[in-house]
Amino acid sequence: MDTLGPSTENRSAAAYAALREAIMENALKPGTKLPEGDLGVHFGVSRTLIRAAIARLAAEGLVDVGKTKSATVATPSREEAFEAFEVRRALEREVVRLVALRWDEPLHAALLAQIDQEREASEAGRHKLSVRLAAEFHILLAEMTGNSLLRRYVFEVLGRTTLILAVYGVAHPQDDSLAEHVALVEALAAGDVGAAERLVDAHIASVEGRALQPLPAEEPAGLGEILGRFSGRSVGA
């Protein structure tokens, strides 16, 4: 039995982080079963710690937990997709407004550095990294509001909309998102809050528009093979 303590929390957090990133990168597909026993063996932890990680993912809407069957990666309905994007739009509009009030050169420099990373990943053809960095751009903006609760909500709704894209989305050039991020930062730097709000609305509408068509079916890989690519990574929550 695991006792409570920092090492226990760290092991549960590591399992959560690996599972979350595998879901976010669409390596663990919607509907994939997540058996506690198999996960416990893979991560070398007890079922108790796996349940804690799965409960955390379920609270974020990324995993469905049944009473009599294994947890599975969530498969959001189209109605849930519309609701998630509606919430994301409202949250990010408020993020932009608050960031504009706190705007200074260090914030500007940090966003430009993030955009540079996105550009490098896009130019190198590293699509999955580019997608992750694009999401981190929005999390960084939320952090800049100074409101930890708002940052948490943005983090969670981004997870949901990323999962929705895995179910319904279509591939698109990451250059589109990059250009939209550049335009948003330019509006903030110019002090044009109205333009920044319109740009973030348009950006999210563009993402939502891609979240409506199913992707071609792919042959799923084994659970152990997938998680082996994510277990050594560290993902912030």
CATH classification at residue 174: 1.20.120.530
Instruction: Please give the Cα distance from 178 to 79 (Å, whole number).
Output: 28
Shared domain check, 83 and 182? yes
Instruction: Please give the Cα distance from 86 to 231 (Å, whole number).
Output: 33
Q: What is the pLDDT of residue 63?
A: 97
Instruction: Please give the Cα distance from 26 to 79 (Å, whole number).
Output: 21
Pick from 14, 9, 15, 11: which is nearest to 34 by CA?
A: 15
Structure tokens at 131: 């997608």
User: How many domains does one find in the chain?
Assistant: 2
Shared domain check, 101 and 68? no
Counting Cα atoms < 13 Å in the Cβ hemisphere of 44 gives 7
Task: Give the 3-state secondary structure of residue 71.
Answer: strand
Q: What is the pLDDT of residue 2?
A: 52
Q: What is the pLDDT of residue 185?
A: 98
The one-letter amino acid at 49:
L
Shared domain check, 165 and 112? yes
Expressed in angstroms, the distance from the first to the final Cα of the chain is 26
- CATH assignment at residue 48: 1.10.10.10
Task: Give the 3-state secondary structure of residue 96.
Answer: helix
Shared domain check, 183 and 121? yes
Q: What is the pLDDT of residue 72?
A: 96
Instruction: Please give the Cα distance from 226 to 214 (Å, whole number).
Output: 22
Q: What is the pLDDT of residue 209?
A: 86
Domain with 101, as residue range(s), is 78-210
What residues in the chain have per-residue pLDDT under 70?
Answer: 1-6, 8, 68, 170-175, 212-221, 232-237
Instruction: Please give the Cα distance from 11 to 209 (Å, whole number).
Output: 38
Counting Cα atoms < 13 Å in the Cβ hemisphere of 147 gives 19
Q: Domain for residue 56, yes or no? A: yes
Shared domain check, 104 and 201? yes
Q: Domain for residue 233, yes or no? A: no
Instruction: Please give the Cα distance from 87 to 159 (Å, whole number).
Output: 12
Shared domain check, 96 and 24? no
Shared domain check, 195 and 106? yes
Shared domain check, 93 and 39? no
10 burial level (CB within 10 Å; 0-12, 13-18, 19+): exposed
Counting Cα atoms < 13 Å in the Cβ hemisphere of 142 gives 21
Shared domain check, 194 and 206? yes
Q: Domain for residue 237, yes or no? A: no
Q: Where are the beta strands (DSSP E) in the chain?
A: 33-34, 63-64, 71-73
Tell me if 54 sits within 8 A of 65, measured CB to CB.
yes
pTM of the model as a whole: 0.80
Q: What is the pLDDT of residue 212?
A: 64
Shared domain check, 199 and 82? yes
